A and B are shown apart, each in its own frame.
Chain A
Amino acid sequence: MRVTLVLNGDARTLDVDTTERLCDTLRERLDLTATHVGCSEGVCGACTILLDDTPARACLALTVQCDGARVETLEGLTPADALSPAQQAFVQHGAVQCGFCTPGFLAVIEGLRRQGDAASWDEATLRRELSTVACRCTGYDGIVRAARAVLQPTP
């Protein structure tokens, strides 16, 4: 099947298998390996990318379903020679250990930033929204602090 994705801002036309998952197209066909694959069932969130600005599981989408859609991966969310503000916050707040979950969290946080209503959220709401990605290492506090720094900056 021929599909066109607007991938990290560039239109890419590809021939893919009908049952090929978006995460496999990204990793295996396009060598965009920032998108991680853990559970393959939608639970762990490591594969979360932005699909038309909204966080979505790349393991739960067929690439053919995404024909014409805008797909953004961590490669696209990272400036060429620097870290994004969210990545800097992750470093500063100790929100990364092995880094397996980090691309998923960064996609979720970028989705929340674009959606724009996280600025007024209480701690519980922020934590609930972040709970869509599982981290096996950090104990989450650093991730919550980094997310707060990005989404609820204090002037």
Chain B
Amino acid sequence: MEPVYHAPGTLDEVLALLAIGRGEARILAGGQTLVPLLFRVEDEPHTLIDLRRIVPLRAIDATATQVALGAMVTLQAAELALRTSLPQVAAALRCVGTAPIRARATVGGTAALADPWAELVTCLHALDAELVLVAEGRERRVRAIDFFHGIRRTARQPDELLRQVVLPLPVPGERHAYHEFTVRESGGKARALAFARRRDGRTTLTLAGERLMPLRVDGTISAAQAALRHEDPSARALLLRVAGQALAMLDEETDPCA
């Protein structure tokens, strides 16, 4: 059965459709992951709710202390918007796929999917970002650590829309460094991501991989080694290498993204 397609013009209509959809309604954002699933009929929702006409979801609102990205902000637009305020997040977003993918894939779709190797997911974790979820008559803000429950599992309820992600801006003296490495080999790829953050004299390291949801540890290699002791040896070696690189970048005098 072909799903019923809606492209409502207001957020209220989206929330009403989600409320009556009882988990059978699927939100369509950039479609870069969902369209192939619909095509292969692996995902057969009875309703598709396309967010493309909800203009406020494309808003980027910056204050002195935070940047809020609407769910429909593309990864390309987010990358551009964050180049000066959060250059290492912008650098991470430049690693996503290639330009035609970034031009369509969205912040909300990426966060809602919760792929372990998604750059944005690691950045949200590392920075203690908040995610804003809305449903008919309610709204809540959830910290990234509480939002991402596991590989492709989140705290989002079926009737909730992810409306916004809120990234805190660095405090004076705060430093960030992002590094990732992807090995492509026949039969798949291995990927490791590391985000190092030094704030108020304390360093943390957020690590993620092909099958590892972001994990935050103290910013030392020995802490990373201990946290990764159950990973398989090749994944662990790659993660430690990327972790070392991110920590080294943190100590470079020059900002790697300046």
Contacts and interface: CB of A to CB of B under 8 A. Distances in A.
B2 A17 contact: yes
B233 interface: no
A25 interface: no
B5 to A, nearest CB: 4
Contact of B100 (A17, A48, A62): A48
Given A19-B39, A21-B39, A60-B36, A132 B104 contact: no
A42 B99 contact: no
Contacts of A21: 35, 39
Interface string B27-38: 010011001101
Looking at chain A, what size class is its interface with the partner chain?
20 to 34
B254 interface: no
A95 to B, nearest CB: 19
Nearest to B36: A41
A108 B100 contact: yes
Interface residues of B, number: 22
Interface string A19-45: 101000000000000000000111001
Contacts of B7: 64, 67
Interface string B85-107: 00000000000011111011000
B101 A42 contact: yes
A92 interface: no
A148 B36 CA distance: 33
Chain B contact residues: helix, strand, loop or mixed: mixed
Interface string B1-28: 0111101000000000000000000001
B50 A129 contact: no
B32 A60 contact: yes
Contacts of B35: 21, 59-62
A65 interface: yes
A77 B4 CA distance: 34
Given A65-B28, A65-B50, A45 B100 contact: yes
Contact of A56 (B4, B36, B103): B103
Interface string A52-66: 001111011110110
Nearest to A115: B99
Contacts of B99: 55, 129, 132
A18 B45 CA distance: 12
A131 interface: yes
Which 6 residue pairs spanning A and B have beta carbons closest together?
A132-B98, A18-B5, A55-B100, A18-B2, A19-B38, A60-B35
17 contacts: A17-B2, A41-B36, A42-B32, A42-B36, A55-B99, A56-B100, A56-B103, A56-B104, A57-B101, A59-B39, A60-B35, A62-B31, A64-B7, A65-B50, A67-B7, A131-B98, A132-B101
Given A55-B99, A132-B100, 15 more contacts: A18-B3, A18-B4, A42-B101, A45-B98, A45-B100, A55-B100, A55-B103, A57-B101, A59-B35, A61-B104, A62-B38, A64-B7, A67-B7, A131-B98, A132-B101
Interface of A: 1, 17-19, 21, 40-42, 45, 48, 54-57, 59-62, 64-65, 67, 108, 129, 131-132
